[in-house]
Amino acid sequence: MDFWNAFASLFSNFGNLTWQMVVMWGIGALLIYLAIAKKMEPSLLLPMGFGAILVNLPLSGAITQGDTVGPISALFEAGMSNELFPLLLFIGIGAMIDFGPLLEKPWLMLFGAAAQFGIFFTLFLAGFFFDLKDAASIAVIGAADGPTAIFVANVLHSLYLGAIMVAAYSYMALVPIVQPPVIKLLTTRKERRIRMPYQKGSVSQLTKILFPIVVTIIAGLVAPASVALVGFLMFGNLLRECGVLNTLSETAQNILANLITIVLGLTVAGQMTADKFVRPDTLLILALGLVAFVFDTAGGVLFAKLANLFLPEGKKLNPMIGAAGISAFPMSGRVVNKLGLEEDNQNFLLMYSISVNVSGQIASVIAGGLLLTLLS
């Protein structure tokens, strides 16, 4: 009898399984499929997908159960509840970015600013369904910048952190799918074929060194709450440009960024438990995040079309470059360049689109900081 009782106890946990957990297994499997088969941000989606399965097993030991602290829950407390992991990742991102092309043509920063329109439009729209702080956290999804979305949602103590994190990183990965239809809807074939010959300028080493310092000071004066976000990003860039810390720069770009990305993906998954995720408001958040993402893309494109109204023939801008003003670096810049080549195999927009993409990285961080300054 004792043997059969012991044998039966091995399967007792099946009684704790719910259909919501099975749904989350399916979501985890989908993320893993997108990472492996479609190669969509595999470094993020693979840990998130596996983690989603891990934390949705009945009485999973990966997350805290009663007095027993799970490792993923411990990671969340150590590096997410205090925004440490996203900020450390920003050091790596900053070290990867070359601001040189943007400094050659600083007017391209206007497109990065215009492409944040979706954030503020969605803030207004989400305000009808959520309180202001949750609405602001949801709106930042539109920047397609996972670390910024996590940071803002954490600081504002959003109740929907898990859904916001998943939406932000998912839309980052889905840039090649979501952006092209929006761009084509808002532009004509003639506009998409506009060529923008690139004339390389020169930027001194001193300018590249001063840029991250000046940007941090200005952002800190205008939006003090953005200092951590902007400062860590610019510190990473300063490591890159100073010329005397190449080993640290390479470490930040590779070892640090990769390690934090793995930990971040698993930690994000820790918030994807069935009780928090399989709810109607989660679907609404995903829908609002898509709205923000679409309107960010549209804002940049329409701003370029507006600028063309005042530019003479021969100086017209290809409005597609405005779509690269979101923060998904460098995916969005590559998408715009690819669309240009599809219309005209000699239409190379990469330098312009990447420059706008870089400006969008800065603009999205500052936009997140402005929301924190206004709402904290």
What amino acid occupies position 105?
Answer: K
The predicted structure's pLDDT at residue 303: 92
Higher per-residue pLDDT: 78 or 11: 78
Residue 9 has a pLDDT of 60
Q: What is the pLDDT of residue 8?
A: 56
**pLDDT tens digits, one per residue of 109-135:** 888 888 888 888 999 999 888 988 999
Q: Residue 4 falls within a domain, yes or no?
A: no
Highest mean pLDDT among 173-177, 221-225, 232-236: 232-236
Considering the chain, what percentage of its residues have pLDDT values greater than 70? 96
Report pTM.
0.82
pLDDT of 211: 92
Does residue 6 lie in a domain region? no
pLDDT bin (cut points 50, 70, 90) of residue 268 is confident
Contacts of 19 (CB under 8 A, 6+ apart): none
pLDDT at 166: 77
Q: Is the pLDDT of residue 251 over 90?
A: yes
Average pLDDT over residues 55-72: 87
Per DSSP, 238 falls in state: H
For the chain, the three-class secondary structure string (H helix, E strand, C coil) is CHHHHHHHHCCHHHHHCCHHHHHHHHHHHHHHHHHHCCCCCHHHHHHHHHHHHHHCCCCCCCCCECCECCHHHHHHHHHCCCCHHHHHHHHHHHHHCCCHHHHHCHHHHHHHHHCCHHHHHHHHHHCCCCCHHHHHHHHHHHHCCHHHHHHHHHHCCCCCHHHHHHHHHHHHHCHHHHHHHHHHHHCCHHHHCCCCCCCCCCCCHHHHHHHHHHHHHHHHHHCHHHHHHHHHHHHHHHHHHCCCCHHHHHHHHHHHHHHHHHHHHHHHHCCCCHHHHCCHHHHHHHHHHHHHHHHHHHHHHHHHHHHHCCCCCCCCCCHHHHHHHCCCCCHHHHHHHHHHHHHCCCCCCHHHHHHHHHHHHHHHHHHHHHHHHHHC
The secondary structure of residue 226, as a DSSP letter, is: G
- 5 in any annotated domain: no
Does 339 fall in a domain?
Answer: yes
The answer to whether residue 65 is domain-embedded is no
Q: Which pLDDT value is given to residue 6? A: 58
Total count of domains within the chain:
1
Instruction: Among 17-26, 51-60, 198-207, 283-292, name the one with the lowest average pLDDT.
Output: 198-207
Give Cα 14 distance to the centre of its chain: 37
Using the predicted structure, report yes or no on whether residue 317 has a pLDDT greater than 60: yes
328 pLDDT higher than 80: no
Q: Is residue 63 part of a domain?
A: no
- Asked whether the predicted pLDDT for residue 145 surpasses 80, the reply is no
> If you average pLDDT over every residue of the chain, what do you get?
85
Flag whether pLDDT at 376 surpasses 80.
no
Kindly tell me if the per-residue pLDDT of 188 is higher than 60: yes
The span from the CA of 147 to the CA of 90, in Å, is: 7
Within-domain flag for 124: yes
Containing domain of residue 351, as a range? Answer: 16-56+71-374
* The predicted structure's pLDDT at residue 212: 93
Q: Does residue 300 sit within a domain?
A: yes
Does residue 336 surpass a pLDDT of 80? yes
Q: Mean pLDDT across the stretch 357-361?
A: 85
Least confident of 5-19, 96-110, 134-148: 5-19
